[in-house]
Each structure stands twice: as structure tokens, then as C-alpha cells.
Structure 1
């Protein structure tokens, strides 16, 4: 009798966890992008400009590494790029 009670407790616990996981996965709402076409175009334009600026910084870095005093200049350029990226990041980490 005691063995049956233990098995019953284990089975109901497992079923309880399965039900809890099922409710958790179905309760999270679907987040939709509700921006209109103009907002999407504007965001796309801003991201393209950002990409151009990053490409220019990469080209500068490549040029600097080829110069004689490239190591010092490269370090300064990388620091500026990192500061710029931290200041202009528009992407949510979540």
C-alpha cells in the first residue's frame, strides 16, 4: 500500500510539472511588429546609414594597419568604434 502511494505521488508530481510547463508556454503572447510602412522605411534607412559608417570605419582600420605607426592608431580607432557602437545601439537585448 505504501509503495502505491509513493508511485501515485511521483506520477502526480510529474503530471503537475507537465501541466505547469504547458500553461507557461501557452500564456506568453505573440509580440507583433505594428509599425507602418513609413516607420519601417525610416528604420531601414537609419540602419543602412549605420552600416555605411561601420564599413567606413573598417576601411580606415585596414588602412591604418598598413601604415608604419598602425598599432597605436589602430587601438585609438577601435576604442572610438566601440564607444560609437555603444552610444548608437538601437537593438533591444531582450
Structure 2
């Protein structure tokens, strides 16, 4: 007689915790402010051309960060320029 053990549902389903990206503003090594990015896309599972990325793949997308409405990640802080940085 063969016993068929079933694992609990929690072990079968991997629960991925959602994280909120944060930018830390530093001056002379001291933290001035933490800027939480709450209006961005979900970056927890990168996708390229409809398929999930493996560890060996590179992202082709360039993300723009800044105060301008055309940026992918919009930050409203006086120390952030309109087109502050690119993430490749």
C-alpha cells in the first residue's frame, strides 16, 4: 500500500512579499530623508517580451527617475532634478 503524502498548500504556493522602493537622501553621510516610491510600476518580477527574466538575462529597459511627469519613477523632492537618473 502506497501512502501519498500531500504538502500543505502554503509550501506549494510561494508567497512573494511586495516591497516598496525607497531612495535615501544623504548629506555628509547623514540621512536627510527617505523618499518612498509608491506610484511606480511593480518591479518585483521583471518581464521582458512576455517571459520572465532568468538570472543570466539582462533587462533591456531603461527606467527614468525624476520630477518630470514623463519619468517612469516620479519623485517630488527639491533635491531631485526633472530627469535625475537612469536605471539600466
Please say whether Structure 1 and Structure 2 have the same fold, judged by a TM-score greater than 0.5.
no
**Which structure shows the bigger proportion of residues in helix conformation?**
1
**Which structure shows the bigger proportion of residues in strand conformation?**
2
Q: Give the structure, 1 or 2, with the largest relative contact order (CA under 8 Å, sep 6 or more).
A: 2
TM-score (norm 2): 0.20
State the structure with more CA Rg: 1
